[in-house]
């Protein structure tokens, strides 16, 4: 299932199979987040700075959380005290991006364990060329108690078994 995302609060993600019990199937969700490489993303070499490329991937990850109903910009809607913590980033820089380039960032669930989960990212240029790809492994943390938790069903349901 692919969803073109936007920043509009009224943009609600709809998926096929909403009537399938969550315990019976995975509801894997892929989204596409559009972005434009801005002047502030450009480094002294005239292309997008690697760290600011990571920032665009983070923006897409936050959008995935929002469309999955897990993130409202402050705390997870489920408990008001949970957050996600990045454990590991693996990134491949494959092509330069320049100021004004339109890109789309594909974000999708890849795998999960009992306490961690992995989202895959791919940043594509307008011509389809992959500029950046990689994975982000994260944990779910209780932000008040400062402990990691088992991945809640509200998140686990989006990942392949």
Which residues contact residue 105 at a Cβ distance below 8 angstroms, ignoring those fewer than 6 apart? 32, 33, 34, 35, 56, 57, 59, 60, 121, 122, 123, 124
pTM: 0.79
Q: What is the pLDDT of residue 110?
A: 96
Radius of gyration of the chain (CA): 16
pLDDT of residue 102: 98
Q: Residue 113's pLDDT band (boundaries 50, 70, 90)?
A: very high
Whether pLDDT at 91 is above 60: yes
pLDDT at 49: 97
Confidence of residue 139 (pLDDT cuts 50, 70, 90): very high
121 pLDDT tier (thresholds 50, 70, 90) = very high
Average pLDDT, the chain: 81
pLDDT of residue 74: 58
- Are the beta carbons of 147 and 81 closer than 8 angstroms? no
Segment 28-77, tens digit of pLDDT:
699 999 999 999 999 999 999 999 999 999 999 999 988 877 666 555 55
88 or 6, which is more confident: 88
Burial 20-35 (b: 16+ CB within 10 A, else e): eeeeeebbebebbbeb
pLDDT score recorded for residue 144? 83
């Amino acid at each position: 299932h692919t969803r073109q995302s936007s920043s509009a609060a009224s943009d609600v993600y709809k998926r096929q199979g909403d009537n399938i019990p969550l315990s019976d199937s995975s509801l894997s969700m892929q989204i596409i987040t559009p972005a434009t490489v801005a002047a502030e993303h450009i480094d002294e070499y005239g292309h997008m700075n690697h760290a600011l490329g990571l920032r665009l991937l983070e923006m897409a990850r936050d959008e995935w959380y929002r469309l999955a109903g897990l993130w409202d910009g402050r705390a997870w809607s489920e408990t008001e005290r949970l957050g996600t913590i990045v454990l590991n980033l693996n990134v491949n820089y494959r092509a330069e991006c320049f100021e004004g380039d339109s890109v789309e960032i594909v974000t999708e669930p890849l795998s999960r364990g009992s306490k961690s989960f992995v989202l895959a990212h791919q940043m594509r240029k307008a011509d389809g060329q992959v500029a950046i790809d990689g994975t982000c492994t994260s944990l779910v943390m209780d932000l008040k108690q400062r402990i990691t938790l088992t991945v809640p069903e509200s998140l686990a349901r989006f990942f392949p078994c």
